[in-house]
Amino acid sequence: MRLLPALTSLFLAAAVAGCTEDAGDLLRPSPTGCYFGSGDDRTHLSAEQAANAATIAAVGQRDGMDERAVAVAFTTAMQESELINVDYGHDDSLGLFQQRPSMGWGTEEELMDPVYSSFKFYEKLRRTDGWQDMTLAEAAQAVQISAYPDLYVKWEDEATAIAAAFAGGAESGLMCVSGAADEVAADPAVLAEAYAYQWGIEATSVDDSTVVIGPYDAVPGWNRAAWAVARAYDHSIASVAYAGMVWTPGEDGWVAAEGEATEVSDEPSQIVVTFATPE
């Protein structure tokens, strides 16, 4: 007797027939991953993609590259790997940028390290004459020398939106609906180590439940806050606070901290990353 499927069908039919907002919410899939921008044109990445994008942006800023350079890197990685650190590709290509050991980019082990592969991408971009005057797709092609140069164009708008959050200082520019990865690094020291490796600077302080970064002015501060939010899934992060605003996992995104004014502060501020308490 298939009672449960039958009841489920009746329930869904009734919900749809009602055409109510509640019914629509009931049938709509729950949001996942991370969102950039606002409104109907928001750009979506999975938690894994967002974490890799955060790494690419951190390495670029560490090495003095600007928001546009980060957007070029995103345009490239979104076409080459969809921002997934894959260990396969055409011929011996692998990693976020599908770089080839046989072409002198590095060893297989090095190219599977997102920090190293990002560094190598920016290194060649920096040596490319006139890249600043090229479109994002043209600059990506100048680095990659792809057999399909026209494919980079379709990623330019999304890459620009993501770069605004990770390298452009966009206030509250990243919202992630965070769960918990299968293997969660819930140790604040692990996040602090990742921050030092990717950004090239130590966290201000680390204890059993928090990592403090900064203080920083608005642009570098929001970039680093976005980096922390993008790591929430892998690190069991409960909240990220910066400039009078607080992010917690869920659909609300950034909200004014309790007791704070609604205006976002432009004063140098610390980024405080708080970890979830183990159950």
**At a CB cut-off of 8 Å and minimum separation 6, what does 53 contact?**
45, 74, 77, 83, 162, 166, 230
Confidence of residue 251 (pLDDT cuts 50, 70, 90): confident
Q: What is the mean pLDDT of the segment spanning 111-130?
A: 98
* 179 in the same domain as 59: no
255 in a structural domain: yes
Instruction: Assess contact for 162 and 74: CB atoms under 8 A.
Output: yes
* 162 in the same domain as 205: no
Q: Tell me, letter by letter, the H, E, C secondary structure of 129-162.
A: CCHHHCCHHHHHHHHHCCCCHHHHHHHHHHHHHH
Residue 274's DSSP bridge partners are 210, 239
77 in a structural domain: yes
Euclidean distance between CA atoms 271 and 241, whole angstroms:
6
What global pTM score does this model have? 0.86
Check residue 86 and give its pLDDT. 96
pLDDT tens digits for 74-118? 999 999 999 999 999 888 999 999 999 999 999 999 999 999 999
Check residue 183 and give its pLDDT. 67
pLDDT tens digits for 81-92? 999 999 998 889
Check residue 15 and give its pLDDT. 42
Q: Which helix (H) or strand (E) holds 241?
A: strand 237-242
163 in a structural domain: yes
Confidence of residue 41 (pLDDT cuts 50, 70, 90): confident
Residue that finishes a domain, picked among 119, 151, 167: 167
Domain coverage including residue 239: 171-275
Tokens 């990243």, located at residue: 174
**CATH number of the CATH domain containing 57:** 1.10.530
* 196 in the same domain as 116: no
